[in-house]
A and B are shown apart, each in its own frame.
Chain A
């Protein structure tokens, strides 16, 4: 059964003439890790905001666990759907990093001991424990991003929605975010990203958007070897370009896979 379901969704922002979503249909099932790719302005962020009811379709429907987002409220949805926005400045508000991360747990009525425990382990995991008493707004851009991810993951939502999780992140944090996705205990992850290597390494399915519509949807390996998707604002992962030119037949997605495949195919 699909837990996220977009059915012919149209959405146009107030005062805008061009629809941001132009008939989007998408089904995501339990256990899926979906990367949403596409150029700037393709509609990725608009689509993600429909998952927790921040935006509701003008036409068509979005259902989360079968529930129509137009018939339920955002606070109800936000217990199931945790969303991390692209711009941390739009999300952060607390006086200290500790309060920021504790906010959702307090709202949901967790007891103090549990909150203390979870806040500490979460801040430590994200390398933010040293900043627990500092204002979120004094952090660097990359650190702010980690803090927003931490403040959502801490309440263990079933569906995790991430808008550009790796923008401005260094290699170590990018790997951490990747590990975190694979260890995420909830039921589905959907993330927009411009980082093709990150998509190739961490998502089993990719959905490519262009002008508010889905233009490709399938297993990551198939999609990247099907075309180059430049028309959708995408550059394939560097490894894929190299594999296509050198004619590696096993379709590697990562540098490690490439090297293994090269040795095997050359040795034959």
Chain B
């Protein structure tokens, strides 16, 4: 009677080699297929480490003390190498310049396909359509090293998606993007999620990202301290300075206490408008 989980971490603990501290401690977390999960928490709380544990870089690339288990789409990660997850997990890392390794955008996109042994014609087709989809055609022959941070980010995302993985992991993908590009990226993730892709991203800017998610995980000092429905979780952390609470949430909460707001806490302006009890004067 098991529901198929996209990712299941059980009693997961990890400390990096040479570090006496646990980067992850007793993490139990199930991500179901089709979930859109945000992982939030203060810097150094273990968000990036958890993402590395979900794509197999931990323990296969980053050495250390590993306890517990991570199962990704039926693959037990401690036993399988990251490349075996090629069609299952795509990852966009926090610093795109560390991820880009070839001399042109085109090669960057073709690289994972070459590794998977695709025929040249098929490769070209996929690369062409991906360049178009991400608005990268003009950058096709440019070196990734010369691109702006935002452009590099786009290339890294396009490369992570080129194998059409079931699960996409992103480590603070919007941190170097302008707000409009960030919301365009989130729209793209929403679209992929609609088509069935499981999305897991770590993020500080919750005001932009929270409305897209169905689940929110809060980490602190290596532990998963809360995980569940986004609005329920946000409600518990309103005055704690542990994660950034969207303005709309703070406003609704303060108005609720003063008797001006009713009903479910909002993440979207439309929800907010229907919860206001007394309308102020119009105009302005």
Contacts and interface: CB of A to CB of B under 8 A. Distances in A.
A1 B180 CA distance: 36
A265 B273 CA distance: 16
A40 B179 CA distance: 9
B274 to A, nearest CB: 12
B181 A170 contact: no
A32 interface: no
Interface stretch (B57-65, B118-126, B224-232, B248-256): B248-256
Interface string B206-219: 01100000000000
B272 A242 contact: yes
A170 B43 contact: yes
B172 A168 contact: yes
B284 A247 contact: yes
Contact of B280 (A143, A194, A197, A266): A266
Classify chain A: how many residues form its interface, as a range: 35 or more
Given A235-B179, A242-B247, 8 more contacts: A86-B176, A168-B94, A172-B42, A173-B42, A197-B207, A238-B246, A241-B269, A268-B281
Please give me the 10 A-B residue pairs with the lowest Cβ-Cβ distance, nearest first: A40-B150, A142-B43, A235-B179, A249-B284, A238-B247, A255-B250, A259-B254, A233-B178, A171-B244, A170-B42
Interface of A: 38-42, 86-87, 89, 140-143, 164, 167-175, 194-197, 230, 233-235, 237-239, 241-242, 244-249, 254-255, 258-259, 262-263, 265-266, 268
Interface of B: 41-44, 48, 94-95, 97, 148-151, 172, 175-183, 204-205, 207-208, 241-244, 246-248, 250-251, 254-255, 258, 260, 269, 272-273, 276, 278-284
6 contacts: A39-B178, A143-B44, A173-B43, A233-B180, A234-B178, A258-B247
